[in-house]
């Protein structure tokens, strides 16, 4: 059986305000992450905060990716289609 790699990209941007805990500023942040709409912040004092972000109204149209790359292991057989 032959296996190929299919990479597909969707472009989307959203923004919202997130209030930091009382007395904290961005300078107090040690690290942060964002995965599956959950924004996590760890502060230098060891405390953490988590905030579930709102799901965007215009979530990417998964039927129309911005870019698709199909790769079968040989560079000459790479298909790169950009919308």
Does residue 60 belong to any structural domain of this protein?
yes
pLDDT value for 55: 76
Does residue 44 belong to any structural domain of this protein?
yes
Does residue 66 belong to any structural domain of this protein?
yes
* Structural domain total, the chain: 1
Taking alpha carbons only, the member of 53, 69, 63 closest to residue 14 is 53
Does residue 31 belong to any structural domain of this protein?
yes
pLDDT value for 3: 64
CA gap 80, 15 in Å, rounded? 30
Does residue 61 belong to any structural domain of this protein?
yes
Answer yes or no: are the C-beta atoms of 47 and 31 closer than 8 Å.
Answer: no
Does residue 67 belong to any structural domain of this protein?
yes
Residues (pLDDT < 50) of the chain are: none
pLDDT value for 60: 62
pLDDT value for 53: 84
pLDDT value for 78: 54
Residues listed for the chain:
83
Please give the helix or strand (H or E) that residue 67 lies within, else none.
strand 67-71
pLDDT value for 38: 87
Does residue 75 belong to any structural domain of this protein?
yes
pLDDT value for 74: 59
DSSP 3-66: --EEEEE---------PPPTT--GGGEEEEEEETTEEEEEETTS-EEEEEPPPPTT---TTS-S
Residue ranges making up the domain that contains 62? 5-13+24-82
Does residue 19 belong to any structural domain of this protein?
no
pLDDT value for 40: 92
């Amino acid at each position: 059986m032959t296996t190929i790699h299919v990479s597909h990209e969707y472009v989307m941007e959203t923004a919202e305000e997130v209030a930091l805990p009382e007395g904290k500023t961005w300078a107090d942040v040690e690290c942060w992450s964002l995965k599956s709409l959950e924004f996590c912040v760890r502060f230098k004092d060891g405390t953490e905060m988590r905030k579930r972000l709102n799901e965007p109204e215009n979530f990417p149209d998964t039927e129309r990716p911005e870019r698709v790359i199909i790769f079968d292991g040989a560079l000459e057989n790479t298909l790169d289609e950009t919308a």
